[in-house]
Amino acid sequence: MLCNHGVCFAAGSLITSRDMLPGLNYLTISIDKFGIKDPQYYLDPYISVSVKNFHGDDIEVSQDTPLANQKEGSHIQFGVSVLIRSPLEELPEGAAIFFEFKHYKPNKKRVSTKCFSFMEMDEIKPGKAALEIYKKPTDFHRKKLSLLSAKPLYLQLTLNIHKS
């Protein structure tokens, strides 16, 4: 547990390894940076990563990145890898991976979700990816999406697919 400003945060809940079934494909996502207006105003930012089915139900337990401390221009640098536990072949049709940007609000003494992004299964390809960022609340059903900003700010990722 990490405590700042009188509130305790998980110091990241990322899995570090996983049991892999032979012959199946697994995904590792490197969260490179998160583009957001005025990043210096966000205290103790981190990203919660979750895998949801078409109905918005959890497929696996969500993971939190460690707190990001480096801010550059209109980006918050994360430089952290997230291992998705489920083999890609076993994810149901309509599944998506969600990325919720969270930060500490000192005036309310709580952690708040500022915005979110998501990646659908057909977008998973090895290499760099840039995902649009949407206004809260997080819409796990992907029905009412509204971009956070008119500026071209994105969640920038690097995807690595590996066979066990």
Say whether 138 sits in a helix, a strand or coil: coil
For the question of whether the overall pTM of this predicted structure is more than 0.85, the answer is yes
CB 28 within 8 A of CB 87: no
CATH of the domain at 127: 2.60.40.150
Is there a domain that residue 150 lies in? Answer: yes
Question: What is the rounded CA–CA span in Å between residue 96 and residue 99?
Answer: 10
CB 43 within 8 A of CB 106: yes
Is there a domain that residue 32 lies in? Answer: yes
Is there a domain that residue 118 lies in? Answer: yes
Is there a domain that residue 19 lies in? Answer: no
Structure tokens at 104: 């500490």
Which has the closest alpha carbon to 47: 96, 110, 117, 108?
117
Q: Domain range spanning residue 57?
A: 24-163
Is there a domain that residue 12 lies in? Answer: no
- Domain count for the chain, please give it: 1
What is the full per-residue pLDDT of the chain (164 aa) written as tens digits?
A: 444 544 444 456 777 666 778 899 999 999 999 999 989 999 999 999 999 999 999 999 999 999 997 998 999 999 999 999 999 999 999 999 999 999 999 999 999 999 999 999 999 999 999 999 999 999 999 999 999 987 788 999 999 999 88
Is there a domain that residue 14 lies in? Answer: no
Structure tokens at 118: 């998501």
Is there a domain that residue 74 lies in? Answer: yes
Question: What is the rounded CA–CA span in Å between residue 117 and residue 129?
Answer: 12
What are the residues whose beta carbons fall under 8 Å from the beta carbon of 82, sequence distance 6 or more?
14, 28, 29, 30, 31, 49, 63, 65
